């Protein structure tokens, strides 16, 4: 039997066009408003929905949670009109798999449904409405998320491992969100002096060291009803490790300078991008603590080993980015292909970073193969460059973070700063600058003009 798609589209003519395009591969149910859509979904449980958001009796968004509740595997593709990008973000958060901008490319539409419905059927995945973040499409990530949901209900310590940028923080948050615990208290074990690390974690009593003017409770105590996330656990001082182990075993700890044991019910999630067992062998990490934490390990595979996640992550990030920079960003298929073939040593963080950069230099808001190619080439060159000059670091400024929090004007300022730095570094040789920034001479010229750079 063919999989069924519910067409929710109030413009009848358009609905007919979609029907004609899709009926070769799918059984089609057509409805024209939200009420009919809900009824039809409940009674027929289709495998996919093509969803128009602006319906005469409400927003198509309202159908998503219902559909996902009834059939978590349902593939929902949203058809958005230009300018309703915010709704597309919301739809993806609620569980839509993808979105297409109207006028919809019919070949793309068929291809997306074919690819996604087959994948969804193959995977037989369990997917409920509150699991939309982290974005995941690969079988491996789905398995991981399932384990996370299971362990979330327990109080076991968890050890999350994986290369830098794979999403360890995201997964720690996900576990916390699926538990009934109250606060999420993150602590980074790296780069702190010993006393400070101990005091921040376990607290101190008045007079226990110079400057300890009052009793202060630590994060272990603050997270008593919550989750204590110990990031970069591999960096935790060897001398602090027994104290943490004792806490994990019994919930007991003594603040610096204290004599009375205190107790906390904090649940510990630890993360590291190191191979902790190697650290044990090098005697930099205690074996007993390792085994205690490793009782429940979650290893997140690098992005290059779950390529199916790349496209959904691209889509997700472009939607968020479009909102931030108030442009409607798109990406060409060959640019996606190039990214799918890339190895991403920096994983999801690197992917987002590449998209951030490309979004600045792309023309007509479409990221194309050339934009990506230039960024990748530039990266390759940088890897071979001796890392000494300060200016090079400035090229590596963290766009990802910046772009999330700044408005369009601020982006222009950053962009200007970025270009001026490059100009100075290349002694105002524009051909050289364009090469360095991975853009064409013309784009550089236009940008300089737009940004008022003489």
Ligand X SMILES: Nc1ncnc2c1ncn2[C@@H]1O[C@H](COP(=O)(O)OP(=O)(O)OP(=O)(O)O)[C@@H](O)[C@H]1O
Which residues here bind ligand X, judged by CB under 6 A?
134-136, 162, 164-170, 273, 313, 348-349, 352
Task: Tell me the number of residues near Mg ion by CB under 5 A.
Answer: 2
**Sign of the Cα pseudo-torsion (290, 296, 301, 302, in order):** negative
Extract long-range pairs of 111-114: CB within 8 Å, 24+ residues apart: 112/77, 113/5, 113/22, 113/25, 113/26, 113/48, 113/50, 113/75, 113/77, 114/25
User: Which listed option, Mg ion, ligand X, none, makes contact with residue 136 (CB within 5 to 8 Å by class)?
Assistant: ligand X
Nearest distance, CB of residue 351 and Mg ion, angstroms: 15
Q: In the complex with ligand X, which residue's Cβ is closer, 48 or 165?
A: 165
Helix (H, G, I), strand (E, B) or coil at 377: helix
161: which strand partners?
A: 272, 299
User: Which listed option, Mg ion, ligand X, none, makes contact with residue 165 (CB within 5 to 8 Å by class)?
Assistant: ligand X
Nearest distance, CB of residue 227 and Mg ion, angstroms: 15
Three-class SS string for 76-114? EEEEECCCCHHHHHHHHHHCCCEEEECCCCHHHHHHHHH
Q: In the complex with ligand X, which residue's Cβ is closer, 50 or 159?
A: 159
Q: In the complex with Mg ion, which residue's Cβ is closer, 149 or 168?
A: 168
Q: What's the chain's Rg over C-alpha atoms?
A: 26
Residue 407 CB coordination number (10 Å): 10
Q: In the complex with ligand X, which residue's Cβ is closer, 222 or 273?
A: 273
Give Dmax over CA atoms of the chain in angstroms: 79
Helix/strand/coil percentages in the chain, nearest 5 = 50, 15, 35
Q: In the complex with Mg ion, which residue's Cβ is closer, 168 or 176?
A: 168
| Residue closest to Mg ion (Cβ) | 169
User: What's the CA gap between 161 and 275, in Å, rounded?
Assistant: 8
Q: In the complex with ligand X, which residue's Cβ is closer, 86 or 164?
A: 164
Nearest distance, CB of residue 235 and Mg ion, angstroms: 12
User: What's the CA gap between 20 and 16, in Å, rounded?
Assistant: 6
User: Which listed option, Mg ion, ligand X, none, makes contact with residue 273 (CB within 5 to 8 Å by class)?
Assistant: ligand X
Q: In the complex with Mg ion, which residue's Cβ is closer, 161 or 328?
A: 161
Within residues 157-176, the interface with Mg ion by CB under 5 A covers 168-169
Beta-carbon contacts of residue 83 (< 8 Å; ≥ 6 apart): 328
Nearest distance, CB of residue 168 and Mg ion, angstroms: 5
User: Which listed option, ligand X, Mg ion, none, makes contact with residue 414 (CB within 5 to 8 Å by class)?
Assistant: none
Nearest distance, CB of residue 272 and Mg ion, angstroms: 9
User: What's the CA gap between 454 and 451, in Å, rounded?
Assistant: 9
Nearest distance, CB of residue 169 and Mg ion, angstroms: 4
Question: Which residue's structure tokens are 């037989």?
Answer: 124
User: What's the CA gap between 277 and 139, in Å, rounded?
Assistant: 27
> Is the distance from CB of 67 to CB of 44 less than 8 angstroms?
no
Q: In the complex with ligand X, which residue's Cβ is closer, 234 or 255?
A: 234
Nearest distance, CB of residue 444 and Mg ion, angstroms: 35
Nearest distance, CB of residue 300 and Mg ion, angstroms: 10
> Is the distance from CB of 280 to CB of 286 less than 8 angstroms?
yes
User: What's the CA gap between 416 and 412, in Å, rounded?
Assistant: 6
Nearest distance, CB of residue 62 and ligand X, angstroms: 24
User: Which listed option, ligand X, Mg ion, none, makes contact with residue 123 (CB within 5 to 8 Å by class)?
Assistant: none
Determine how β-strand 366-367 pairs with β-strand 330-331: parallel
Q: In the complex with Mg ion, which residue's Cβ is closer, 169 or 308?
A: 169
User: Which listed option, Mg ion, ligand X, none, makes contact with residue 170 (CB within 5 to 8 Å by class)?
Assistant: ligand X
| Residue closest to ligand X (Cβ) | 167
Nearest distance, CB of residue 452 and ligand X, angstroms: 32
Question: Which residue's structure tokens are 């060291």?
Answer: 209
Beta-carbon contacts of residue 107 (< 8 Å; ≥ 6 apart): none
Q: In the complex with ligand X, which residue's Cβ is closer, 117 or 148?
A: 148
User: Which listed option, ligand X, Mg ion, none, makes contact with residue 423 (CB within 5 to 8 Å by class)?
Assistant: none
User: Which listed option, Mg ion, ligand X, none, makes contact with residue 140 (CB within 5 to 8 Å by class)?
Assistant: none
DSSP secondary structure of 151-178: HHTS---EEEE-STTSSHHHHHHHHHHT
User: What's the CA gap between 228 and 238, in Å, rounded?
Assistant: 19
Nearest distance, CB of residue 314 and ligand X, angstroms: 11
Q: In the complex with ligand X, which residue's Cβ is closer, 104 or 219?
A: 219
Q: Which spans of this chain sit near Mg ion (rule: CB under 5 A)?
A: 168-169
């Amino acid at each position: 039997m063919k999989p069924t798609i519910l067409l929710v589209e109030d413009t009848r003519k358009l609905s007919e066009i979609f029907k004609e395009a899709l009926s070769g591969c799918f059984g089609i149910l057509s409805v024209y408003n939200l009420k009919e859509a809900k009824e039809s979904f409940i009674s027929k449980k289709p495998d996919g929905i093509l969803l128009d958001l602006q319906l005469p009796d409400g927003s198509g968004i309202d159908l998503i949670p219902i559909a996902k509740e009834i059939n978590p595997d349902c593939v929902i593709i949203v058809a958005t009109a230009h300018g309703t990008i915010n709704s597309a973000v919301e739809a993806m958060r609620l569980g839509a798999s993808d979105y297409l901008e109207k006028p919809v490319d019919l070949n793309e539409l068929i291809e997306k449904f074919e690819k996604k419905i087959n994948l969804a059927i193959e995977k037989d995945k369990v997917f409920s409405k509150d699991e939309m973040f982290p974005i995941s499409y690969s079988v491996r990530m789905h398995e991981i998320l399932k384990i996370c949901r299971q362990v979330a209900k327990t109080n076991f310590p968890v050890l999350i491992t994986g290369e830098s940028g794979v999403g360890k923080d995201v997964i720690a948050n996900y576990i916390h969100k699926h538990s009934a615990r109250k606060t999420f208290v993150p602590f980074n074990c790296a780069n702190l002096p010993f006393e400070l690390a101990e005091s921040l974690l376990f607290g101190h009593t008045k007079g226990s060291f110079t400057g300890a003017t009052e009793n202060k409770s630590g994060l272990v105590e603050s997270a008593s009803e919550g989750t204590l996330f110990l990031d970069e656990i591999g960096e935790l001082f060897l001398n602090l490790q027994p104290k943490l182990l004792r806490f994990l075993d019994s919930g007991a700890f003594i603040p610096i300078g204290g004599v009375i044991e205190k107790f906390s019910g904090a649940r510990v999630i630890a993360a590291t991008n190191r191979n902790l067992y190697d650290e044990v062998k090098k005697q930099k990490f205690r074996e007993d603590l390792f085994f205690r934490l490793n009782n429940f390990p979650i290893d997140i595979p690098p992005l290059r080993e779950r390529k199916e996640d790349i496209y959904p992550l691209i889509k997700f990030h472009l939607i968020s980015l479009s909102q931030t920079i108030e442009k409607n960003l798109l990406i060409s298929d060959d640019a996606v292909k190039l990214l799918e073939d890339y190895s991403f040593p920096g994983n999801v963080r690197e992917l987002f970073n590449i998209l951030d950069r490309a979004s600045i230099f792309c023309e007509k808001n479409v990221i194309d193969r050339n934009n990506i190619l230039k960024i990748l080439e530039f990266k390759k060159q940088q890897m071979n460059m001796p890392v000494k000059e300060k200016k090079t670091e400035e090229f590596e400024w963290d766009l990802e973070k910046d772009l999330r929090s700044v408005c369009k004007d601020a982006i222009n300022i950053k962009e200007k700063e970025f270009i001026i730095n490059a100009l100075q570094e290349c002694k105002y040789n524009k051909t050289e600058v364009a090469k360095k920034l991975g853009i064409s001479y013309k784009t550089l010229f236009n940008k300089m003009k737009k940004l008022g750079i003489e």
